[in-house]
A and B are shown apart, each in its own frame.
Chain A
Amino acid sequence: MRDENIRILVAKIGLDGHDRGGLIIAQALKNAGMEVIYTGLKNTSENVVEMAIQEDVDIIGISILSGAHLVLMPILMDELKKNNADDIPVIVGGVIPPGDIPKLKAMNVREVFPAGSQVVEAVAFIRRLVQERRKSTRAS
């Protein structure tokens, strides 16, 4: 099935300047036929949520390599809730210790792609998630 122009926000939050992963995934998602809105560096959670809403994205992908995920992700998830946008699914990629994955999932992060993950896995996951979400929102 052709992706009906999946729109994804690829975002970096905090001071973390390591954008290799974010840029690679952005390029790969584009090549997989998605429309990727890339936020650039040094965003606050507030900015990211605002962008996600204005761009009406299907999904948000956050890339964090600094280790600050357990501090920054709860802020982002709260901000989504505050703006009634917590229906937008969030995934995280980067340097994430295995022990932190359940903690992130408990915050309603849908999936975590630690360093060394395959881009194809992420693409497949995003497609599946977006299709499910679209089915349910269109049905409702």
Chain B
Amino acid sequence: MYDGDILDEIRKRKEEWEREIQDEQGSVKERKEAFTTLGEIPVKRVYTPLDVVDRDIDYLRDISFPGEYPFTRGIHPTMYRGSLWTIRQFMGFGDPRKSNERLKYLMNSGAPGLNVAFDLPTINGVGSDHPLARGEIGRNGVPVNSLEDMEQLFDGIPLGKVSTSLVIAYPPIPCMYIAVAEKQGFRPDQLRGTFQNDSICRDVGANVRVVPRRAELKLCVDVVEYATKHMPLWYPISIVGYQIREKGCTAAQEVAFNLSDGIEFVRAFIERGMDVDSFGPRLSFMWNAHNDFFEEIAKYRAARRIWARIMKEKFKARNPRSMQIRFHTQTSGVSLTAQQPLNNVARVAIQGLAAVLGGTQSLHTNSMDEAMALPTEDSVKIAVCTQQILAHESGVTNTVDPIAGSYYVESLTKDLEDEAMTYIEKIEEIGGAVEALETGYVQREVTKAAYAYQDKVEKKQEIIVGVNDYVDDREPNINLLEIDEAFERYMCEKIEKLKAGRDPSAVERSLDKLREAAFRDENLMESTMEAVKSYATLREVWDVYRERYGSFNEKAHITGL
């Protein structure tokens, strides 16, 4: 990018400058001895063109133009000049009917992308009436025990006309969604949206495991295989780095672990007989947006570059769309503080800005009260407005990838790429993402990083405003959303009522068929679809899966110790 003479001149001037700012002892007084990113990458006092040139960063090869390989600057040529990202707020709590009201509220407040979270009993395939479900029903998402709940959740929302993200894996819930759409008169090929459907991210990030790891992977592949045939507008998997980052890994590790997750799935799809370019353009990703502004921007750029190369070189993709990372971003939940919760509005704005400058396709901004409880409508409204302010007032959407060419960011992007590649290669050596989980390698790396960070906070090497410095002892004064306790009983009774009212022989027949399909190792989408349409409960369907694959051997996998 620069010719030799100019570089020599810059190098000379830089050495002079370094000398000029030194005191008599030859040192420079600064606040800290060394500066690093949140992920412990060393940060220099100043960056110059030398950092780009000396690291052999080639514009055409490594950065290139927006919409062109390796997509460092974004996947669309015009980015937000063409269309803005989708405001997609994560939602789900309490009764399916209540969640339905909140979905409609969000649609009316200018957040057109629906994004539904399910509660722990639903995610874990046990349902509301299981003993372990106590206290968890409707708390971190909406409970869906049967097609009936799904019908209530999307009542009055035309599924053929919206774009929906369902934060859950495996066939049952996707089948229920498709069944509701069909009842509304829409075909699967008309539906737009995303199934999260990533067993690996839930496993390592949130310890959600139902059946053994290989079987979970198989169930996710079933969904993708079905959608690749019948749902051309749908993204059947979202490969998620969000949760593992929340668990405490670094930005570079988030890239590495999540792309290894992606590699594992791509391998599984190919093994199933799918062509890389049949599913490649329908893969989507999800990242965290954490506190270190530039490191986060560099993270999205590095991830795009690495994935493009993996898909092209390792998996021989031919369609450029197969090489692109389309991604959703959610701002970091763990970075929010229960102390002085209003401060979280500022944190979320900075994190959201990083995601936008990093080229996200959709964004969830957390609400300020999420460190304490489920968000109230008022706080969700502020979070949505934060995105609208970023989109319309900040001016950052006027040009594509405005941050490119920053000596610091380009150098940091390379740092993240190098560190992530080292991890990715290590995981490949172990035998892939699932194997790396089985051996506990990933979990140990994450726990180590989380502990190191906490240690820095304790020693005040990292300052968190209102937590370990600038502490304000006044009680926070915000309203929190509470969940009605009688509601747990209500959800259990609802299951009983459903069971009393349905055709028992139809349920039995459909579950038998599902069982046969499971033991023949077929794709379970069609047979699961039939089962949910007969109003078999979520738990009944999972019981068949468990019968076939066994339950996850939880005790064999105490992670992170």
A and B touch in the complex (CB under 8 A): yes
Question: How many interface residues does A have (CB within 8 Å)?
Answer: 36
CA distance A70 to B140 in the complex (A): 15
Q: A15 — which chain B residues lie within 8 A by C-beta?
A: 120-121, 124, 126, 132-133, 136
Q: Nearest CB to that of B134 among chain A residues?
A: A71
CA distance A94 to B192 in the complex (A): 37
A116 and B337 within 8 A (CB): yes
Contact A14 B134 (CB under 8 A): yes
Residue of B nearest to A26 (CB): B561
Asked if A72 is an interface residue, CB under 8 A from chain B, the answer is yes
Q: How far is the CA of A126 from the CA of B338 in the complex (A)?
A: 22
Known: A38-B561, A44-B132. A119 touches B248 (CB 8 A): no
Q: Is the CB of B458 within 8 A of A118?
A: yes
Could you tell me which residues of chain A, from 106 to 125, have a CB within 8 Å of some CB in chain B?
Answer: 114-116, 118-120
Contact, CB under 8 Å: A75 / B206? no
Contact A40 B136 (CB under 8 A): no
Known: A15-B133, A19-B207. A116 touches B339 (CB 8 A): yes
Q: Which of B131-153 contact A (CB under 8 A)?
A: 131-136, 139-140
How many angstroms from the CA of A15 to the CA of B130 in the assembled complex?
A: 11
Which of A20, A71, A120 is the one whose CB lies under 8 Å from B246?
A20
Is there contact, CB below 8 Å, between B135 and A20? no
Query: A119 vs B451: C-alpha distance in the bound complex, in angstroms?
Result: 11
B134, B206, B468 — most chain A CB neighbours (10 Å) = B134
Q: A27-B447, A98-B372, A116-B338 are in contact. Are A20 and B136 (CB under 8 A)?
A: no
Q: Which of A1-59 contact B (CB under 8 A)?
A: 14-20, 23-24, 26-28, 38, 40-42, 44
Contact A66 B338 (CB under 8 A): no
Stretch from B226-234, B428-436, B551-559 forming part of the interface with A:
B551-559
- Kindly supply a per-residue 1/0 record for chain B positions 71-109, scoring 1 wherever the CB is within 8 Å of any chain A CB and 0 otherwise: 000000000000000000000000000000000000000
- Say if the beta carbon of B560 comes within 8 Å of chain A: yes
Closest A-chain residue to B447, C-beta based? Answer: A23
The residue on B at minimum CB distance from A45 is B134
**Across the interface, which residues of A come within 8 angstroms of B450, CB to CB?**
20, 23-24
Q: In the bound complex, do residue B135 and residue A99 qualify as a contact, i.e. CB atoms below 8 Å apart?
A: no
Q: Which of B135, B338, B457 contacts A72 (CB 8 A)?
A: B135
Give A72-110 interface residues, CB cut-off 8 Å to B: 72, 75, 95-99
Given contacts A19-B559, A97-B373, whether A68 and B134 have CB atoms under 8 Å apart is yes
Do A67 and B374 form a contact, CB below 8 Å, given A23-B561, A116-B337? yes
Contact yes or no, A28 B475, CB < 8 A:
no
A75 contact set on B, CB distance < 8 A: 134
Evaluate contact between A44 and B131: CB separation under 8 angstroms: yes
C-alpha spacing A14/B451, complex, angstroms: 24
Q: Mark B414-425, 1 if CB is under 8 A from A, else 0.
A: 000000000000
Alpha-carbon gap, A20 to B204, bound state (A): 11
Alpha-carbon separation in the docked complex, A116 to B199 (Å):
29
Q: Which residues from chain B contact A69 at a C-beta distance below 8 Å? A: 135
How far apart sit A56 and B245, CA to CA, in the bound complex (Å)? 36
A16-B136, A42-B132, A99-B480 given; A23·B560 CB < 8 A:
yes
Interface-centre pick from A27, A38, A42, A116 (highest chain B CB count, 10 A)? A116
4 nearest interchain CB pairs? A68-B135, A17-B207, A71-B135, A15-B120
- 28 A–B pairs (Cβ distance < 8 Å), ordered by A: A15-B121, A15-B126, A17-B206, A18-B206, A19-B207, A20-B246, A24-B248, A38-B558, A40-B554, A40-B555, A40-B558, A41-B554, A42-B132, A68-B135, A68-B136, A69-B135, A71-B488, A95-B338, A95-B371, A95-B373, A96-B338, A97-B372, A98-B372, A115-B334, A115-B371, A115-B372, A116-B339, A116-B467
For the complex with contacts A17-B206, A41-B207, 7 further pairs of A-B residues with Cβ separation under 8 Å are A15-B136, A20-B248, A27-B451, A70-B135, A70-B485, A97-B480, A115-B337
